Structure formats: structure tokens, C-alpha cells
Structure 1
């Protein structure tokens, strides 16, 4: 993507976000790192042909794992952190990045591992952690059509059917899972749990706008996809098509599938923080997110679905607040995962 292309995508994003009153940072399409000589190999595959292509060890507990997805016909990069104690099968926490995160310019990675204290935070925790380093601008969903820019996206299939059995087999996992996402993927975490009831015992949704079939959430989704150069109509069909409502995590029909799941949802208030400092543009975006989250809270209350909602004073659309949310969500995750 050259400077002209990035500028065009940024102008398209700015136009669409006037409808959603939101602003996102534009970045590059991820590129997979090369294979390291002598990298450790972890054999695992699924019935459809998805399999671990290769792994690159980082240290005794960490590795970058490259998994071939049969549904997408490409290799997906993952960061994997092993549980502190692997003497018995351990659960798995899946973490999804936002639209602007992943492996971008110059091979620089922007993810949970590089932007938060995830590595030291999980050092004493008996859970395998899998961070997906691909899928920017995709909403981690199954698209109806291949996209000229974003390619083939079958993320629901990958994250609910292809990847979990591979991780369980390769890392001796227990089969108990949790999932969390930020910004774009905060919506995805809810939708994935709804798509595969029983797969994820806990869900963390940090700074997301779950309403994908009504405004402003619908325009927000379209803006995110367009900011990556993708065509939103390739995802769930043209604007207003049935696919938009079918994939909306906030509808009553979909929300009821989350009954029994430990739910932790957070958003910033978008106003001054506890020190009285007014946040910059990220606060404006977060105020939109907070309104979406309050509407979702009203729906879960009406349906009698237990969930924890947290509104962070002055919280911005940024990694420090998402790190704080992960810490706050962890006790519920641990209970759901049985650790």
C-alpha cells in the first residue's frame, strides 16, 4: 500500500465516520514473517486439512505459530504463550486485535503482546494464550464474497471450527476457552461466542459497538472495513441485507445464545479522566462506543442475561484502557476456565 493509497483510505474513513461520529487509525495490511531456520515444528491438523504450517520459538513459553486455514486457503500468524504449568491440560484464552493492529510496516508488530503487559500478567497463570495477528478490517467474520483488497475472510469458520481443535491437540489443552477483543474485535468476540454456543465460557468485549445492523453501529462497521480498503458489501451483503441483522450480536435472538457465558464489557466515558484531563480524539470515539455499550446493557438486562459492564472515567480508545479491562475481567475468566 503506497502513500497515495493510504491517504485515499484515510479520506474515505473520515467521510464515513461523520455518520458514526468516530475516528480510527489507518495502518497497513499485515505481512507474515519468514520461516526461521531450525524453527520448532508442532504437528497438529484438523479434518478439513487445516494444520500448523510451522512455528518459530521465541523462548521457553512463547512462539509464533503459523496455521494454514483450509477455509481461507492461507496461513494465519498467531502468538502463543504456554501456560505456566503444563503438567495437566490447561484452558485457552483467545485474544483478537483491533482493525489497526497486526504485523505492519517494516515487520513491526502491534498487538496484545507488544502494547500491554500480557506476557508478565500471564506469567503465573495456568492458561494458554493465543493472539491472532491477522484479520485487520475483517470483523473476524465469514464474508459472503472474496474482497479484491482484503481477500478471502472466513474467520468464524477458522476461530470456531478450524483453530480450536488444532490448538487443543498441539498444546495439550483442556478444551475450555475464553475470548476477548478490542475495538473492532470487541464486536467479533461476542459474535463468535454466539456462533458457537458452548465453545467459549467467557467473553471480554472492550470498547466495541455491538449493533451492526442499526446506526451508528452499522456505519461504524462500514467505516472500519472501508478504512482498510475493503468493500463492506462483500462482508454481509449490500447495506440492509439480511446478513447484517443475522450477524448483529445485539439482537435478542443472538444475545440469548450468550446465556451462561461469563460476560465482561467495558467502555470509556469519553469525558475527562479521574485527574480532570480531557482526552483527545480517542475520547470522542469512545463516547460513541459507550453509548453502544449502554444500549447493549439495556438489552441484556431486559433479557435477564447476567453480564458485567464497566465504564472507565475518561477512558480512551487505546491500549492502556484495554489492558486495564483485561485485568478487571480476569477473575471471571478464571472462574469460567476452571483455574
Structure 2
């Protein structure tokens, strides 16, 4: 393979940075950079950091929607460059809550190696500790943090403006990220061609789940997120994938979960309280599946008898759903 001057320079910079023990801060074609790129609301890329192989890029976006500077990890396809006339489809991966962040997918699964085999820009945006995937209600005033606006407006606009992304997109997430993938697709019809949920909490208004969603917030005031249950019911409805299921028409859907929580052979935890989350997630996914069937909206499901609410299960489901998502967004394997 013959390398252009920009690529050769990038490799040399990467090697020198490794020898010096510093981070790589410049990518393919050294004169080009996405720093300074702005979304419509003023969100701005303030830094870039490339990996040694010039395939992984972490950008930091100063977000008016959230009110913080947030990292976003990108994996670029073979042949990508700032100057390319080509644009690539986007695969957005959403984290779970708790201790997850934008790096956890890459740390816990082989998604990085998988993504590098395909002609797709894979995106891992930070979602915060709560991973709530909503614009906060804030007593009806809305405002910060507006996570939905960060993910579906600021990040996607910046990717299109400078990082050679097109409008063919898929989204996938685990646990609360599975909720995120479904609600983003439902609230933004046509934005995503495919949405996958792995052990996702895909409805928030069923009995018990409603109150769990309310009190699970780490905010001092749990009503900030969706409002008070039953009192601010309209806002809860508009953020419930089950209620909004009709808007999923035209989007490919994948729902998966274990239905017992019994450990599978490759599970690394013999017993965990999280095992109880799997039957709950299955119950919620089945409810959404039934609603989609009633609406004649196609959905692919996979419910498995063994597997905890843990990463080995989500690794398996990632590989099951990946070809479906790549086909939907027109992303082929590397030549």
C-alpha cells in the first residue's frame, strides 16, 4: 500500500510521540483538524487526540446543551481523511449507567476491533453517570443538562460538518443505553435507520419501573429528569419508547435480553444482584415487542435462557446485531 505524504507524516508523529511518552494530538494530514468545528447551538470541538495507529480519535466538545466539556471517542474507517470527498455512515454506541463512560464499550468488548473491519465511523459519546438520555425536565423549564440534544444534535452535526459522516446512522446501547437507543429513534423519526437494545429498560411507565426510573436518578431532586410521576405525565409519555412506539416505523429494531438471569458459561460473576435485572429487562422488551407487532412494525428479538446483566451477554448480542445494523446503513466490510 502506498502512503501519501500526510499519512507518512502522521505515522512519524505517532512514533515520535510514543517514544517521547506523549499523547498523539495530530491525525491524518497534519494541516487538517476538526478543532474549532461548531454545531448550530455553538457546541465546539476544543481538542483532538489520535491513537498511535491513527484509527481512533478522541475529541472533546464544549457543550452548551449539557454545560460541560465532554469526550467522544471515534473509530475511523480505512481510507478516512479530513480531505476525502467520500462520506461514511455512523454507528453510535451508548453506554450503560453506574460506572460506565465513553470508554467502557471498548474496554469490556471487542467492539473496537470489530468496528475497524467495517467502512463505518463508530461513535462512543460520553453520557454521564446517570446515562439518562433525556433533556432534563427541570420543573417544566427544561435546560441543562440536555443529553438528547448533545447526542442527537451537537455530536451528529459536528460529525457531518468536519468528520466526513453521512446521514445513514444506527444506534445501539446496553441497559440504560438500550433505553437511549430506543427513545432517540422514537423521538427523532428517520434519524436512525436501525436501533438495537441489549438488556434495555425500554419502557419507563410500567408499574414499579416508573418509580424505579424516578428514584434511580442520582440527582438531589429526582423529579428533575422526567418530572413527578403522574403529575407530569405528558413528559413521561413523550420519553417512553413503549408509548412512542409508532414513531419507530421505518427503523430496524433489535431487542434482546436474558429471561432468567442464570449465569451462562462465559459469565465471570457467579452471582450478582444485577442478575435480577435481566428478567425485568426481558419483560420490558417483550412489552415493546408486542406493541410493535400490534402496529405491524418489524422487530428482531433474541431472548436467551442463560446470561447475566453483564458484558459477556452484551458482547454476544453485539455480534448478533452488528451485521443487521451495517446492512441497514449501507456499511460494507473493508476491501
Describe the superposition over 1:20-61 as per-residue Cα deviations: whole angstroms up to 9, x where unpaired.
Answer: xxxxxxxxxxxxxxxx77723423212221121111112310
Whose Rg is larger? Answer: 2
For the residues of structure 2 that align with 1:198 and 1:182, how far apart are their CA atoms?
A: 21
Counterpart check, 1:133 vs 2:126? yes
Shift of residue 206, structure 1, vs aligned partner: 0.9
Give the equivalent residue in structure 2 for 1:320.
312
Cα RMSD (Å): 2.3
Any idea what SS the aligned residue of 2:306 has?
coil
- Please show how residues 71-220 of structure 1 align to structure 2 within 5 Å: 71-86=65-80, 88-102=86-100, 111-145=104-138, 152-220=144-212
Report 1 or 2 for greater relative contact order, CA contacts < 8 Å, sequence distance ≥ 6.
1
Displacement of 1:273: 5.1
Q: Which runs of 4+ in 1 moved over 6 A?
A: none
Q: Is the 8 A contact 2:245 2:288 kept in 1?
A: no
CA distance in 1, matches of 2:205, 2:262: 30
Q: TM-score with structure 2 length normalisation?
A: 0.80
Partner of 1:53: 46
Partner SS, residue 200 of structure 1: coil
1:102 and 1:133 in contact (8 A); partners too: no
The DSSP-based 3-state class of the residue aligned with 1:305 is coil
Residue pair 1:186, 1:205 contacting (<8 A) in 2 also:
yes
Structure 1 stretches of 5 or more lacking a match?
1-35, 104-108
Structure 1 residue 216 displacement after superposition:
2.8
- 5+ residue gaps, structure 2, are 1-21, 27-32
Matched, 1:39 2:25: yes
Match of 1:244 among 216, 236, 245: 236
Q: Secondary structure at the match of 1:215?
A: coil
Q: Secondary structure at the match of 1:270?
A: strand
Q: 1:85, CA displacement in angstroms?
A: 3.4
Q: CA deviation at 1:69?
A: 1.4
Say yes or no: does 1:233 pair with 2:231. no
Q: Partners in 1 of 2:286 and 2:276 — Cα distance?
A: 16
Shift of 1:319: 1.2
For the residues of structure 2 that align with 1:306 and 1:232, how far apart are their CA atoms? 35
> 1: distance between equivalents of 2:133 and 2:145?
8
| 2-structure distance, mates of 1:244, 1:224 | 15
Give the CA deviation at 1:291.
1.1
Identify the residue that residue 21 of structure 1 maps to in structure 2. Answer: none
Q: Is 2:254 the counterpart of 1:264?
A: yes
